[in-house]
Structure 1
Amino acid sequence: MPLVEPTVVDQPDTDAVTAARANQSTLSDTEEDQGWPALFGPDRTSSVDAAWNPIWSSNGPKVLWETEVGTGYGSPVALGGLVVFSHRLADEEIVQCHDALTGTKIWDYRHSTSVKCEFEYSDGPYSTPLIEPDRRRVFVVSGEGRLSCVELDTGEHVWTRDFPTEYELEPGEFPVGATPFLDGNRLIHNLGAGEKGAGIVALDAENGATLWEATDHGAAYCSPLVAKIHDQRFLFVFTDRGLVCLDPDTGIKDWEYPHFSRAPLSYNAVSPLVFQDKVLIVTGPGPGAVCVQIKQDRTFEEVWKNRRVINCQYNTLMLRDGLVYSFTSAGQGGAELRCVEFATGKLRWRYHSVLRRGQGLIAGDALLLLGERGHLASLACTPDEPRVLSFTQEPLMSDPCYCSPALSNGILFLKDEERVVALDVRPLAEP
């Protein structure tokens, strides 16, 4: 089983680079770019068939623009020539919209905040904005847990739900970090108001009105997911206790699967992933990964369980062709990237590098990876072995990098707690 020992950076695989260059013209003929309107991309797999150039020098891709920002672990999202992100400066949380190509700021939406992390981490915000393409609106959750809706084109306020006040929620040890899921006109949120019977809530996306409430669970740092399996619709929410399966239309619970760490300061922070009729959940370090299969009668059975093969703490799960790519926690002799079969849990390969607990996405035939310490790398998306395409000699972003990247129309957006940077990774023009 291939194991690549960590070095300062790894040199590109010449054959893989040649193949990647050849693939660019093919990828440019794919369907129209869907942008990156939500955390984990347009279909929540952190994988798209978008055209881009995964080959760059050791200095990294060309910088189109950059802007200073404050604190926060929320990731950028982008759609139709616009990029949106949130951050915090002093006692104010700010949602900003910029022209994706030029970096010109179009609007910002501000509100006061007093949330405080009890530990040496960011005071937020942690949640990622969500763009609704049809109505051209943006939904954003503050560090305290307020959920607001603003217009995408103007930043004009539409509505706000003050959940901490409405449900008498006590501040947590960390700022609120769950990102809602948009299911048609239904906005589903991992709220965590379990004592009020509102661990999970569904809102009318038009006006914020409550449609249903369910469970007595607390919140987690995970986004809900709706999937169609056996010609039926299922809602999967990973709460503080484990995976919950519900009817997304009514909120009626089908079942729940307990899965959480009993260690102090451990949280469920990896959103569930669906492939065909199977669901994958991960809690790391400790409990690890579990894959369950959904039955025709809406019950489930456990397919495989492994504490070590995937045990990421908060890192993105990337899906392509039945394979999951993700980073492990730092507890197994250092974090590393792994490729694992979704259906079986079989480890296909591992890649140990300076990326550590990175974040990433898949575009076309390549992995795009932002390391925890700010290095940027691309690898061929292959089930056989890790093959490096590009790797920056020095970090491009500031340590630590906990925000996921976003890719839209050949522009890569990276964010840390100092800057948002737009990089030109548009495919090379055909000769």
Structure 2
Amino acid sequence: MSYDRPTYEGTWSRRGYDDAQTGSSPATGPTGDLYVSWRADVFEGYPPTSPVVADETVYHLHTRGGRDTQHDTVVSAFDAATGEERWQTTVSTTDFDKHAYHHDSLVVTRTRSVPASRRAGLDDAVSDDCIYARTFEGIHALSTDGELLWTHPVPTTGEPHPLAAPPIVSGGLVVTATYGERTPPAAVVAVDAETGDIVWRAGFDDRRIPWTLSAADGTVYVPFFDGDSGLVVLDLETGVEDWAVSLPVDGPVTVSGDTLLVPLREDETESIAAVDRNTREIRWQKSVGRRTDSGVAVADDLVYYCTNAMLTARRLDTGELAWSFGPEPHVSFSWTPVVAGTTVYALAEPPSEDSSDDGSPPYYLYALDTANGEVRGRAPALEHGMASSLAVVDGAVYLAGRDELRCYESCAFSVRGRCLVE
């Protein structure tokens, strides 16, 4: 029997795929009978972090340690086809004693073009690929062979939210925020991607807690919680404020053309709003049940998000319901959908008849048709819903749990649920 094997080609550079947080890639991910082609042990430090992929290599951020002990946060590189660990580099050592040990923050770049205004003293305008990680202490840059290049301190204080905090890497800059409740006031900071030297800093006196950053078309979108909550838009190159709007923002912003998809929370009511990024007017708004760290994906004029144990797809222009998946299976309430080509992936508890021997149903990874939400394939994923977001390249999906990194592929032939081609 002949069948197409994965090529593992393609790049999934960060959680949410791109700076705009669209969660959508043209890659052809696996469908049909999915199976785990390899597993790799990772440290158990919370939260599980999203793998990233480039040049047939999977990169993962994880932390060794526990409460009242030293925490070592490392970046590991794995062969995308076999799961063999190629290298492991410690980027941070700390005694930070909170329920979380790092941010879900890894970003890998294919090339980095440095603007002419900052080329002085550099040998080349374009450098090798690079990896960036945001820990509680700051931003770290590594080469793709594991060399730690520089660290710039941008400490997290108080509670370490948001858990998902990949920096923006664009235009020769790495942009992050001073996360956590803090004194002095919050700030957004940009450093040179080559050197780690600070380029600009935007401070905020009244706004308290910045959340996960997004970016598109030379602008950075900064959602703020508490205090004067709202959305602030900064010029990527200079950090100068373009505009700001007061909104009860409750999560990361997704940018699609002239539309901003913004999670909101007013009193106890949560919703998703489509905001015109030119006029700042709300085009449509839909009530949802969701949590802060989950986000929105958008592809081919459909908006995907999880609410009330379902994955919901709506029209980008009108908010009209296209289809939904669930609540049987019961979709994880903290899941952010991921789209690859014509497939959208979801993490969900299967119906009760699929329960495991101990009576607790494991979570399954579902591959759904983007046109109608029909199941195209699935595979057991985790015994709990505590998972990272996905990375998808040609023929393979990568998912991390608390102590394991997995690669899923399509099975060409199976008997009684067991894949015979592995």
Q: When the two structures are superposed, what TM-score results if normalisation uses the length of structure 1?
A: 0.76
The answer (yes or no) to whether the contact 1:369–1:377 under 8 Å persists in 2 is yes
Does 2:376 correspond to 1:386?
no
Report the CA distance shift for 1:275/1:310 in structure 2 as closer, same or farther (over 3 A).
farther
User: Structure 1 residues 179-188 or 286-295, which shifts more?
Assistant: 286-295
Which residue of structure 1 lines up, in the alignment, with residue 176 of structure 2? Answer: 189
SS at match of 1:218: strand
Spell out, residue by residue over 1:21-80, the C-alpha distance to the aligned partner (whole angstroms, 9 max, x if none): xxx99xx99xx9531111111464111111233111xxx324234324312232111111
List gaps (5 residues or longer) in structure 2: 66-70, 112-127, 350-361, 414-422
Which residue of structure 2 lines up, in the alignment, with residue 271 of structure 1? Answer: 252
Cα RMSD for the two superposed structures? 2.8
Q: Distance in 2 between matches of 1:201 and 1:86?
A: 22
Report the CA distance shift for 1:409/1:390 in structure 2 as closer, same or farther (over 3 A).
closer
Q: When the two structures are superposed, what TM-score results if normalisation uses the length of structure 2?
A: 0.78
Q: Deviation at 1:376?
A: 0.9
Does 2:418 correspond to 1:418?
no
Given candidates 249, 263, 272, the residue that maps to 1:289 is 272
SS at match of 2:73: strand
Give aligned pairs, total: 363
List gaps (5 residues or longer) in structure 1: 1-23, 262-267, 329-333
Letter in 1 for 2:28: A
Q: Distance in 2 between matches of 1:39 and 1:338?
A: 20
Which residue of structure 2 lines up, in the alignment, with residue 133 of structure 1? Answer: 110
The answer (yes or no) to whether the contact 2:261–2:273 under 8 Å persists in 1 is yes
Given candidates 140, 146, 158, the residue that maps to 1:148 is 140
Q: Could you say which structure has the higher strand fraction? A: 2
Spell out, residue by residue over 1:196-234, the C-alpha distance to the aligned partner (whole angstroms, 9 max, x if none): 565212111111111111141334441321x23xxxx43
Given candidates 395, 398, 402, the residue that maps to 2:383 is 398
Written as runs of structure 1 = structure 2, the 5 A alignment for 1:14-413 is 33-42=9-18, 44-56=21-33, 60-71=34-45, 72-90=47-65, 91-110=71-90, 111-117=92-98, 122-134=99-111, 135-142=128-135, 144-153=136-145, 155-164=146-155, 170-172=157-159, 174=161, 177-192=164-179, 196=184, 199-216=187-204, 217-225=207-215, 227-228=216-217, 233-240=218-225, 241-260=229-248, 268=250, 270-283=251-264, 286-295=269-278, 300-306=280-286, 308-309=287-288, 311-328=290-307, 334-351=308-325, 352=327, 353-357=329-333, 358-371=335-348, 374-382=363-371, 385-392=372-379, 395-413=380-398
Report the CA distance shift for 1:126/1:426 in structure 2 as closer, same or farther (over 3 A).
farther
Q: Distance in 2 between matches of 1:69 and 1:424?
A: 24
User: Structure 1 residues 32-41 or 362-371, which shifts more?
Assistant: 32-41
Q: Distance in 1 between matches of 2:412 and 2:370?
A: 17
Q: Distance in 1 between matches of 2:385 and 2:345?
A: 17
Spell out, residue by residue over 1:251-298, the C-alpha distance to the aligned partner (whole angstroms, 9 max, x if none): 11122223337xxxxxx4x32111221111114673422222133xxx
Q: Distance in 2 between matches of 1:354 and 1:302?
A: 30
Q: Deviation at 1:325?
A: 0.9
SS at match of 2:13: coil
Report the CA distance shift for 1:323/1:427 in structure 2 as closer, same or farther (over 3 A).
farther
Letter in 1 for 2:168: F
Report the CA distance shift for 1:202/1:310 in structure 2 as closer, same or farther (over 3 A).
farther
Report the CA distance shift for 1:74/1:221 in structure 2 as closer, same or farther (over 3 A).
farther
The share of aligned pairs that are identical, in percent, is 21
Which residue of structure 1 lines up, in the alignment, with residue 125 of structure 2? Answer: none
Letter in 2 for 1:199: A
Report the CA distance shift for 1:323/1:84 in structure 2 as closer, same or farther (over 3 A).
same
Spell out, residue by residue over 1:303-338, the C-alpha distance to the aligned partner (whole angstroms, 9 max, x if none): 2233x147453224221111111112xxxxx42110
Q: Distance in 1 between matches of 2:163 and 2:201?
A: 19
